[in-house]
Amino acid sequence: MNPYPTVVFDLDGTLVDTAPDLINALNFVLGREGLPAVPMKSARNMIGAGARKLIERGLELDGRQADLADITRLTNDFIDHYAAHIADESRPFEGLESALDDLCARGCRFAVCTNKLEWLSRLLLDQLGLSSRFSAICGADTFGVSKPDPAILQQTVSLAGGYLSSTIMVGDAGPDIGVARRACVPVIGVEFGYTDVPIASFEPDRLIGHMRDLPAAVESLLAERRVEPID
């Protein structure tokens, strides 16, 4: 029996409310193209599939399309701007650090599995003082695959020193549910993230509306897997 259960988190919309800085970076590149800014409220649900897809969605809102070279140029400009402002307004979701403290005390270790680039993920978590909490921080470029490909979750867990048999996934959108299902890992859906399809419709094993509810959800799933956290 593995004595160290692993809780793997998505990043944007799950651990951290990154929408303000992501949308500000999107509007920066759109503005340089003479396009109108995307309202924050409507843009939140455009997040989650990476910078390139976010830009494509931003262009589509104005009825625009761009060729591959333009998308690549805009993506590079977006990343440069975003990296310089990555934690201007982004903050951990309320209750996150208390939930991590609680789970850590119960013997859990943590990892991040995101479709964000690894270096941007590390930069964000560094600036928020959270990096040291995670045994592994893996992005779409870490292994060359993205969620919902199960390989990214499998390799993240391995890098963290964990086992899939004692792993719980936590995420806010379809790719998170999909990667967990394909890797045969139970999954907790958070209702406060970024998705244009309600997370409940993907039928996660547990659903929480606040991070204060995370420890109980994790413990109940671990009990079902017959993995006992160490005291």
Is 32 found in the same domain as 142? Answer: no
- Using H for helix, E for strand and C for coil, what is the string for the chain? CCCCCEEEECCECCCEECHHHHHHHHHHHHHHCCCCCCCHHHHHHHCCCCHHHHHHHHHHHCCCCCCHHHHHHHHHHHHHHHHHCCCCCCEECCCHHHHHHHHHHCCCEEEEECCCCHHHHHHHHHHCCCHHHCCEEECCCCCCCCCCCHHHHHHHHHHCCCCHHHEEEEECCHHHHHHHHHCCCCEEEECCCCCCCCHHHHCCCEEECCHHHHHHHHHHHHHHCCCCCCC
The total number of structural domains in the chain stands at 2
Domain final position from 84, 107, 139: 84
Q: Is residue 1 part of a domain?
A: no
Q: Is residue 135 part of a domain?
A: yes
Q: Is residue 230 part of a domain?
A: no
Is 142 found in the same domain as 51? Answer: no
Is 94 found in the same domain as 78? Answer: no
Give the domain extent around 71: 19-84
Question: How does pLDDT run along the chain (231 residues), one tens digit per residue?
Answer: 456 899 999 999 999 999 999 999 999 998 988 888 888 887 887 886 778 888 888 888 767 777 788 889 999 999 999 999 999 999 999 999 999 999 999 999 999 999 999 999 999 999 999 999 999 999 999 999 999 999 999 999 999 999 999 999 999 999 999 999 999 999 999 999 998 899 999 999 999 999 999 999 999 999 987 754 545
Which one is catalytic: 10, 102, 172, 205?
10
Is 197 found in the same domain as 161? Answer: yes
Q: Assign residue 94 the CATH number of its domain.
A: 3.40.50.1000
pTM for this model (two decimals): 0.92
Is 23 found in the same domain as 13? Answer: no
Q: Assign residue 55 the CATH number of its domain.
A: 1.10.150.240
Query: Is 10 among the residues known to form the active site?
Result: yes
Cα–Cα distance measured from residue 229 to residue 3, given in angstroms and rounded to the nearest whole number: 6
